[in-house]
């Protein structure tokens, strides 16, 4: 038997195996070509540097400027403190912010040796347990959304009520992991269905640039700082309003996706250093040049836009000095 006859005999004996092997090879080759054709490589471009990281444990409270923080799906975390996971409420559970009580911006919430420390001008420091599982869970209202919070106890209530010097009784509540978070997508379609937040107005991460504030200050008589706008992340070494076009960002191992612009309100007129509220600037000046397009009026109404909200695609650690990259196809 010649080589040709031997080959034909072997092929006949193993016909199915040979055809299967050839088929798999062809399919693999086709998939490889298709993958290379349809999957265009991502383009990465450095656009700035992280200059500030701010954590606001108490909604409307004083921010903590830190050099490093964890960036999680529900926002920043610094030690035991999570961004906007504590809230001041009235007796009936409605949120209280610096819009109603401007001096809240001077109230700081820190953590030491497993205890929360409350400080404010003219007040002695109050230390309370970080966790009080025996306390009542209160039904709360943040804007038009229902949420819960664990009451932080009578000493905290008395201390905050005395500081704000109001006729009302105020209480402080804490959001816990097992509680049902608020879903931004229920109000705005730009967020993922699985996203949730505790007590922020809208989203987990608010990002803006120093140059945008610098540009705003060229239009103001009384200059402001980034602190007036309460951002989570501040970026430098870039053009003013560059953040308006950063759809996807990489910072270290953290991946962020832009969801929508941040519409600004009366809170921007509260001086973060004094607790005074002007009810005018910088809000009125922002209205003169930072309004949305007519096609977006149904989203933002008559509020000016300053800074951008981001969703967290990938968690990780952020550090001041980290390079900021945009990612595009």
What is the predicted pLDDT for the residue at 12?
Answer: 54
Tell me what pLDDT residue 300 has. 97
Given this model, what pLDDT does residue 163 score? 97
Please check whether residue 172 is in contact with residue 157, taking contact to mean a CB–CB distance below 8 angstroms: yes
Pairing of the two strands 145-151 and 248-251: unpaired
Q: At how many degrees (to 10) do helices 15-38 and 3-13 cross?
A: 80
Check residue 149 and give its pLDDT: 98
Report the side by side order of strands in the sheet with 86-90. Answer: 95-96, 86-90, 170-174, 145-151, 137-142
**Dihedrals phi, psi of 99, to nearest 5 degrees:** -70, -40
Cα distance between residue 300 and residue 101, in whole Å: 24
- Can you give the pLDDT of all 329 residues of the chain as single tens digits? 554 554 455 545 555 544 455 455 544 554 454 444 345 568 999 999 999 999 999 999 999 999 999 999 999 999 999 999 999 999 999 999 999 999 999 999 999 999 999 999 999 999 999 999 999 999 999 998 999 999 999 999 999 999 998 789 999 999 999 999 999 999 999 999 999 999 999 999 999 999 999 999 999 999 999 999 999 999 999 999 999 999 999 999 999 999 999 999 999 999 999 999 999 999 999 999 999 999 999 999 999 999 999 999 999 999 999 999 999 98
Which CATH number among 1.10.10.10, 2.40.33.20, 3.30.70.2190, 2.60.40.10 corresponds to the domain 43-328?
A: 2.40.33.20
Q: pTM for this structure?
A: 0.87
Give the single-character DSSP code of 114: T
Q: What is the pLDDT of residue 25?
A: 53
Report pLDDT for 22: 44
Interatomic CA distance for residues 302 and 265, integer angstroms:
10
Task: Count the alpha carbons within 13 Å of 68 in the hemisphere toward its beta carbon.
Answer: 5
The CA-CA-CA angle for residues 118, 124, 129, to 5°, reads 40
Q: What is the per-residue pLDDT for 33?
A: 43
Query: Residue 36's pLDDT is what?
Result: 46
Query: Positive or negative CA dihedral for 76, 80, 84, 85?
Result: positive
Burial group, residue 306, by CB count within 10 angstroms (0-12, 13-18, 19+): buried
Provide the token pair at 253: 């191992």
- The whole-angstrom separation of Cα 196 and Cα 204 is 8
Which pLDDT does position 52 carry in this prediction? 98
113: region left, alpha or beta (phi > 0 left; psi from -120 to 50 alpha): left
Burial of 12 (0-12, 13-18, 19+ CB in 10 A): exposed
pLDDT number for residue 37: 38
What number of residues does the chain have?
329
Contacts of 196 (CB under 8 A, 6+ apart): 73, 74, 180, 181, 182, 183, 184
Domain map of the chain by residue range? 43-328
| Percent of the chain as helix, strand, coil, to the nearest 5 | 25, 35, 40
DSSP 294: G
Q: How far apart are CA 237 and CA 148, in angstroms?
A: 40
């Amino acid at each position: 038997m010649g080589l040709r006859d031997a080959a034909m005999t072997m092929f006949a004996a193993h016909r199915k195996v040979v055809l299967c092997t050839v088929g798999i090879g062809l399919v693999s080759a086709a998939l490889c070509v298709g993958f290379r054709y349809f999957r265009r490589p991502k383009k990465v471009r450095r656009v700035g540097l992280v200059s500030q990281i701010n954590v606001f444990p108490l909604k409307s409270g004083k921010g903590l400027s830190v050099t490093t923080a964890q960036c999680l799906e529900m926002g920043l975390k610094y030690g035991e403190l999570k961004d906007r996971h504590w809230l001041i409420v009235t007796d009936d559970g409605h949120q209280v912010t610096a819009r109603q009580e401007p001096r809240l911006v001077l109230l700081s919430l820190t953590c030491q040796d497993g205890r929360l420390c409350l400080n404010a001008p003219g007040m002695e420091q109050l230390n309370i347990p970080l966790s009080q599982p025996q306390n009542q869970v209160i039904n709360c209202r943040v804007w038009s959304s229902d949420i819960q919070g664990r009451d932080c106890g009578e000493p905290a209530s008395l201390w905050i009520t005395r500081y704000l010097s109001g006729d009302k009784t105020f209480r402080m509540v804490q959001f816990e992991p097992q509680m049902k978070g608020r879903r931004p997508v229920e109000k705005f379609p730009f967020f993922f269905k699985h996203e949730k937040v505790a007590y922020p107005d809208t989203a987990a991460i608010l990002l803006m640039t120093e140059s945008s504030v610098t540009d705003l200050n060229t239009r103001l008589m009384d200059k402001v700082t980034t602190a007036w706008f309460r951002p989570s992340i501040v970026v430098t070494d870039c053009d003013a309003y560059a953040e308006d076009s950063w759809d996807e960002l990489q910072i270290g191992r953290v991946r962020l996706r832009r969801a929508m612009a941040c519409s600004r309100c009366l809170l921007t007129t509260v001086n973060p250093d004094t607790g005074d509220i002007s009810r005018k600037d910088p809000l009125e000046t922002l209205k003169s040049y930072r309004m949305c397009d007519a096609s977006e009026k149904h989203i933002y109404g008559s509020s000016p836009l300053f800074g951008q909200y981001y969703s967290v695609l990938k968690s990780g650690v952020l550090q001041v000095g980290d390079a900021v990259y945009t990612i595009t196809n």
